[in-house]
Structure 1
């Protein structure tokens, strides 16, 4: 009985999320647009997340290089360290780790913010005042996460590669020009396009899940906490599922 109830709850939640996503495409992207609020959310979601993304990226590049070096030295291919690190960061590690960090910060923030507005009836007050809360609160945040995550991923990859350059020079001496020449010569269009494209889907998933959980929050302050927590968990799962589909799709197209 409990298993049946969990399955029913899972499919019910999936259907509600799909309906919420359909509502975004049917209502949220139609005029009139909340341009001022959109730019405000881009600043809060994008610019405010940059320090955390930059710090995480730098440490990740540094640690990845230091962990890979002993194995490459064993097989006598230490010179290929910049190539391996560059491909790993740009194709997979950079976009996924950046999206997970972004989800932990932004999905929880959106879920808690909209959840608190829901339980304190501020969303109902906006409807009474003649403002469309879905367009003002949901559409702007989803569009902001969709646009800002690709930008943050590019910046995070660049900082991560710089951290890798520092890691390479801890045990040896490699010039800045030589390191990045090796990195970019090893990358192709098939590496860059899928990695960059899937970040838009990551950003959309994070935004829509965070808004869905917050917008449908119940049970007072406890519900706000549950919304923030479940938003992070569900958006993280969505990131891995989208990444899996992206890898399969690029493999079918022969971009791998």
Structure 2
């Protein structure tokens, strides 16, 4: 009898079957999230031009995303420029090319490091707060209360946050670039002994407006993407406090991955 019961016991799924099933679930989840973020983006665009505009909420979010991130972005940019200049100076000294430290740091900061790092700082500081706040409002039925009072939650909660990310992204990118170049200047001129005139003239010689344009474009795209993802995850959170925490974690991971993927795509498109 015991042998018959053992034969009837459910068998563990095969490793390959389980792997294919997990891959399928992950693919469906990614496609669903991409579609949901895109749909939310269209909703934000639709409600952004409808009355009432509520400028006080918009400026409050700009202050939170932009002004509140100035210190962390400037500090990160300063030390990024200092570290990068130190490493580049050491490498270029092997080829007697210390005069190229300035343009090398400037091109790298303007094209890649400034938009990527500033977006990551905004994600960790402002994006996590947005997702947690919206998720808490969702699970405590505050979003439902807004709908009951005939207030559109997308227009009231999401539009100011997304627009603030779109506008403040390029601003913080330029702040990061300026701070990073200041750090690179200090290391190159005061520590490595490079002439200040050489540092500035070489940088001016090799830098082009397109380099700054690429950085500001990426900053705008990253700011829009990060706020959309964080708002989407928070707005659709469920399951109480645990669900809010899970939504915030997913928002941080998805935002970081999206920044790097979009950075590659935009870089390729601008150079084809």
2:186 pairs with 1:170: no
Using the alignment, how far apart are the partners of 2:187 and 2:257 within structure 1?
31
2:111 pairs with 1:91: yes
Root-mean-square deviation (Å): 1.5
Aligned pairs, how many? Answer: 251
Structure exhibiting the larger radius of gyration computed from Cα positions:
2
1:130 Cα deviation (Å)? 2.7
Residue ranges of structure 1 left out of the alignment (5+ in a row): none
Identify which range, 117-126 or 51-60, moves more after superposition: 117-126
2:51 pairs with 1:31: yes
Identify which range, 14-23 or 226-235, moves more after superposition: 14-23
Instruction: Please say if residues 28 and 138 of structure 1, whose CA atoms lie closer than 8 Å, have aligned partners that are also in contact.
Output: no
1:134 Cα deviation (Å)? 1.1
Q: Write the mapping of 1:49-68 to structure 2, written as runs, cut at 5 A.
A: 49-68=69-88
1:34 Cα deviation (Å)? 2.0
Using the alignment, how far apart are the partners of 1:103 and 1:6 within structure 2?
23
Match of 2:7 in 1: none
Using the alignment, how far apart are the partners of 1:155 and 1:82 within structure 2?
17
2:92 pairs with 1:72: yes
Correspondent of 2:29 among 9, 31, 39: 9
Using the alignment, how far apart are the partners of 1:86 and 1:6 within structure 2?
39
Identify which range, 189-198 or 64-73, moves more after superposition: 189-198
2:264 pairs with 1:244: yes
Instruction: Please say if residues 45 and 144 of structure 1, whose CA atoms lie closer than 8 Å, have aligned partners that are also in contact.
Output: yes
1:16 Cα deviation (Å)? 2.0
Q: TM-score, normalised by structure 1?
A: 0.93
Using the alignment, how far apart are the partners of 2:95 and 2:170 within structure 1?
36
Q: Write the mapping of 1:1-256 to structure 2, written as runs, cut at 5 A.
A: 1-168=21-188, 169-175=190-196, 178-252=198-272
1:213 Cα deviation (Å)? 0.5
Instruction: Please say if residues 103 and 206 of structure 2, whose CA atoms lie closer than 8 Å, have aligned partners that are also in contact.
Output: yes
Q: TM-score, normalised by structure 2?
A: 0.88
